[in-house]
Structures are given as structure tokens and as C-alpha cells.
Amino acid sequence: MTIGGGASGRLMAISDLHVAYPDNRQIVEKLRPESDGDWLLIAGDVGEFAADIEWALTLLKERFATVVWTPGNHELWTPKDDPLQLRGEERYRHLVEMCRRIGVLTPEDPYAVWTGHGGPVTIAPLFVLYDYSFRPPNTTKEEALAWAYEAGVVCTDEFMLHPDPYPSRDAWCRARLRETERHLQTRDPAIPTVLVNHFPLVRQPTDILRHPQFAQWCGTVETADWHLRYNAATVVYGHLHIPRTTWYDGIRFEEVSLGYPRERRAYGLDGTQAIRRVFPDEPPS
Ligand SMILES: [Fe+2]
Ligand SMILES: [Fe+2]
């Protein structure tokens, strides 16, 4: 178990770095801690190519005292032109081994405890994927998928994120839920948690998606009470590319996406605010 965090340090977070985009790569090259004690939580979608993911995580590990990573859907793609052709679970395990080599913590490691400012809190990176249950009520998975195909809003995961050796992405999700719950039981229940997951643990953040069909690739109803059950002080997520703070059951949820260059242009953002203080609360400005 890693324990630490200086008195001046903070827990910082970012997700959806998508470093295949040159603009995003330039932003990542400029990311720096505010103090020597800062930790960085990375909530997935660093990139698609194994070499890109390693480049970004290595750079950030050199700058931040501790770096914690959990995979997004994009890290789990198997792009045809990536020299790494592993699929599914094997690809994930390969990325975990890469993280161990460079000293980055993953969902497979004992949870670190932040004892700096606002601590102690247990930092729990989660990898639970999605199971298509964020679909409209009273529809089957097949009906919801057909609705998405008709609308032309189909997540690229359908073609690039292979669930091997599981028969489906939802079956992989069910296995990850079991595994993650087992891991969460190992924490000290007296200490609050910071939960870090690529996908929102609750469904409400998907209510504002421009294309409601996309929600089925955004999480699972099985985690709806995890922020309460696991005593979360804060929940960090990404994937939606809608950076904002919301509150559910009195608990702060932070969407920390950098997102795509075209999205930042549309929102009038330049990426300089992309890295966010997530714990303790940002001071009122
Ligand atoms: Fe993303
Ligand atoms: Fe994503």
C-alpha cells in the first residue's frame, strides 16, 4: 500500500487525454503539478496505441509524486495498425504490466492511501466497463442497439473493443464488477474513498448527452450505489467529454475530461484548465 502526500499536495485528476491528437499531446507535455506533493488520478482514455499510452504515463509519472491510472474504452481497443495486437483481458493485463514497470498504480494494485491535505482517503481506481444497462426502460439490449444503429450513433467499441476471452463486453463487465467488489472489500472501511472510474458510476450524468443512444456505452446500473456503499468523499470519472461538477446524495462527482480538440473549440476551452484539483474541494474563488 502506498501512503503519502505532503501537506502542500493535492489530488489532481484528468481523463480522456486522447494523445493521438497533436493538440492534446502538446497539452499533456505542459501538464505539471502545482506542488511536489501532488498526485495525479487519470480516469482513462489516454490513447489507443500502446506506445502512446506508455509515452503519456511515463511523462506524467516523472512529474507527479504518484500517478494512478484506470483504463478507458480507448485503451482497450485493438487498432489494426498498433504493433500490439493483444485483445480484451490480455491487452488490459499487458497495460497493467507496463504501468508496473514505470511505477504507475492500476486497479490491480493494493489501494494507495492519501494522507496529505484532507486525508486519509483510500484511492480506488476501478475498472468495471459497461453492460448496456443505461438504455431506455423497458427495452432489451438488442432493441437499444437497433435504435442506436438507426440513429447512426454507434460506439466504435462495437468494432474495436474485443472482450476476449469473454463472450461479450457485458460479460466482461460482470466479471469486473465481481472482481472490483472483492478488491474494495480489502480497504479499511473506516477511511473514506476517492473512486476513480472511466465511466460514471451513476446514470444521471448521461441525461444531458446530445445523443441519448450513446448512454448504453457509458456505464452500468450495478454501480448506482457504490458512492454510498464505499463511503466516497469524491468520485472522479470521464468518458462523456463534458467536464463539470455534480452532486448525487451529497457526494461530489467530477468529470475531468480533456476531450477532443473540436470539442474544446466548440466550448471555447483551450485545455489549460484541463487538470483539476479534485480533493480536497477546490477552494472557492
Ligand atoms: Fe474519451
Ligand atoms: Fe471513453
Is 77 a member of any domain? yes
Strands, E assignment, the chain: 3-4, 11-14, 39-42, 66-69, 112-114, 121-126, 193-197, 232-237, 244-248, 251-255, 276-279
> 245 CA distance to ligand 2 centroid (A)?
18
Tell me the pLDDT tens digit for each residue of 190-214: 999 999 999 999 999 999 999 999 9
**CATH code at position 61:** 3.60.21.10
> 243 CA distance to ligand 1 centroid (A)?
11
Angstrom distance (rounded) from CA 152 to CA 146: 10
What pLDDT score was predicted for residue 269? 86
**pLDDT means per 10 residues in the chain (285 residues)?**
69 98 97 94 98 98 97 98 98 98 98 94 98 97 97 97 98 98 97 98 97 98 98 98 97 97 90 90 57
> 217 CA distance to ligand 1 centroid (A)?
12
What pLDDT score was predicted for residue 284? 45
> 185 CA distance to ligand 2 centroid (A)?
27
Which residues on neighbouring strands pair with residue 66, listed in sequence order? 39
Q: What ligand has the least distance to the C-alpha of 259?
A: 1
Is 216 a member of any domain? yes
Domain membership of residue 98 as a residue range? 3-279
> 64 CA distance to ligand 2 centroid (A)?
23
> 228 CA distance to ligand 2 centroid (A)?
24
Is residue 80 helix, strand or coil?
Answer: coil
Is 285 a member of any domain? no
Is 208 a member of any domain? yes
Is 173 a member of any domain? yes
Angstrom distance (rounded) from CA 257 to CA 235: 14
> 162 CA distance to ligand 2 centroid (A)?
15
Phi-psi sector, 248: left (phi>0), alpha (psi -120 to 50), beta = beta
Has this prediction a pTM greater than 0.95? yes
> 16 CA distance to ligand 2 centroid (A)?
7
Angstrom distance (rounded) from CA 224 to CA 246: 15
H or E element in which residue 52 lies: helix 50-63
C-beta of residue 89 within 8 angstroms of C-beta of residue 169: no
> 190 CA distance to ligand 1 centroid (A)?
33
Is 284 a member of any domain? no
> 181 CA distance to ligand 2 centroid (A)?
22
How many domains does one find in the chain?
A: 1
What pLDDT score was predicted for residue 285? 44
Q: Could you tell me the sign of the dihedral formed by the alpha carbons of 91, 94, 96, 102, in that order?
A: negative
> 103 CA distance to ligand 1 centroid (A)?
24
**For residue 169, how many C-alpha atoms fall within 13 Å in the half-sphere facing its CB?**
23
> 224 CA distance to ligand 1 centroid (A)?
21
Is 56 a member of any domain? yes
What pLDDT score was predicted for residue 4? 63
C-beta of residue 36 within 8 angstroms of C-beta of residue 66: no
Is 70 a member of any domain? yes
Angstrom distance (rounded) from CA 174 to CA 158: 17
> 111 CA distance to ligand 1 centroid (A)?
24
What pLDDT score was predicted for residue 89? 98
Strand 3-4 relative to strand 121-126, pairing: unpaired
Is residue 55 helix, strand or coil?
Answer: helix
